[in-house]
Amino acid sequence: MRRFLAYFRAMITHIEDNYRHKGLRKQLVDILRTKGITDEAVLSAINEVPRHVFLDSSFVELAYQDQAFPIGSGQTISQPSTVAFQTQLLGVTKGMKVLEIGTGSGYQACVLAAMGAKVFSIERQRNLFFKTKTILEQLPFRVKTFLGDGYEGLPTYQPFDRVIITAGAPTLPTTLIEQMKPNGVMVIPMDNAEGDGQTMLRVTKMEDGTLKKEEFGDFKFVPMLKEIGND
Ligand code: SAH
């Protein structure tokens, strides 16, 4: 019983969002402005989503620095400026259906949901999937999560207005392109030729089915792997 209460108390502290957290978030938004994030809808979503809730409690103090952090199972929560940059490139508006590959901590998914998107997010790591599901259930953001291989997308829920990949992809996943609407946009970090990171790519599926590709600089992501697993 005592152990249960301690656990319960820890959960409440973890989910708590106080004035200090809110103040730190405002400062983070200011930092993101200086780093070239101009989309007010993105900034307001970052201001709304309590990032500390997605980190293990020992990292609470650091949650609002512009840094990536470990979230268990060898994975990381992306750096806030990377989340903001990818979200800005995606060009999300209210009501859009967005598919995310790599739920991870669930933070990026919540930022999209805070912008009014209908978010469908796939995670391949079983442990992380269940851990994140528990956190998301306690938050007011509507995100549908799926345990699966992101390469396969979600045939039942397609077509999507937007697709965001949050792991480094070796090739352009054609199945996911097929699951996009005409004029749909995918933002994807693609492995570079040197093998030391990724180039951020925005792929637009034109009305005639051809793809327009634009490049937006270098990033570092954990790899996009195949199939469900715990590795
Ligand atoms: N969007 C996340 C960042 C996650 S890091 C966040 O906001 O925290 C990338 C995630 O992609 C990892 O959790 C990894 O397990 C997952 N991943 C890698 N390959 C995948 C695949 N084929 N399908 C689904 N998820 C995948």
pTM for this model (two decimals):
0.93
pLDDT at 70: 86
pLDDT digits (tens, 9 = 90+) for 44-56: 999 999 999 998 7
The answer to whether residue 12 scores a pLDDT higher than 60 is no
Q: 53: closest CA among 83, 84, 18?
A: 18
Choice among 44, 57, 78, 105 that is catalytic? 78
pLDDT at 69: 87
Report which ligand 1 atom has the smallest distance to the Cα of 167: 9
Q: Which domains does the chain have, with CATH numbers?
A: 2-219 (3.40.50.150)
Q: Tell me the average pLDDT across 14-20.
A: 82
Report which ligand 1 atom has the smallest distance to the Cα of 151: 22
Mutation probe of ligand 1 site: the residue of 52, 225, 228 with most atoms within 8 A of C-beta: 225
pLDDT at 37: 97
pLDDT digits (tens, 9 = 90+) for 139-187: 999 899 999 999 999 999 999 999 999 999 999 999 999 999 999 999 9
Distance from residue 77's CA to the centre of ligand 1 (Å): 9
Distance from residue 41's CA to the centre of ligand 1 (Å): 24
Q: Tell me the average pLDDT across 18-42.
A: 95
Alpha carbon distances (Å) from 210 to 4, 81, 122, 168, 177: 56, 30, 26, 23, 10
CB 128 within 8 A of CB 109: no
Select the more confidently predicted residue: 64 or 58: 64
Distance from residue 220's CA to the centre of ligand 1 (Å): 13
79 lines ligand 1 (CB under 6 A): no
pLDDT digits (tens, 9 = 90+) for 101-131: 999 999 999 999 999 999 999 999 999 999 9
CB 130 within 8 A of CB 109: no
Phi, psi dihedral angles at 6 (to 5 degrees): -60, -40
Report which ligand 1 atom has the smallest distance to the Cα of 150: 23
pLDDT at 118: 98
The answer to whether residue 8 scores a pLDDT higher than 90 is no
pLDDT digits (tens, 9 = 90+) for 96-107: 999 999 999 999
pLDDT at 9: 46
Q: Where are the alpha helices (DSSP H) in the chain?
A: 2-15, 19-34, 40-48, 80-90, 107-114, 126-136, 174-178
219 lines ligand 1 (CB under 6 A): no
pLDDT at 11: 53
CB 97 within 8 A of CB 163: no
Catalytic annotation on 58?
no
Helix (H) or strand (E) holding 5: helix 2-15
Query: Considering Cα of 84, then 90, then 94, then 96, what sign does the dihedral take?
Result: negative
> 62: pLDDT confidence band, cut at 50, 70 and 90?
confident
Select the more confidently predicted residue: 17 or 216: 216
> 14: pLDDT confidence band, cut at 50, 70 and 90?
low
pLDDT at 3: 55
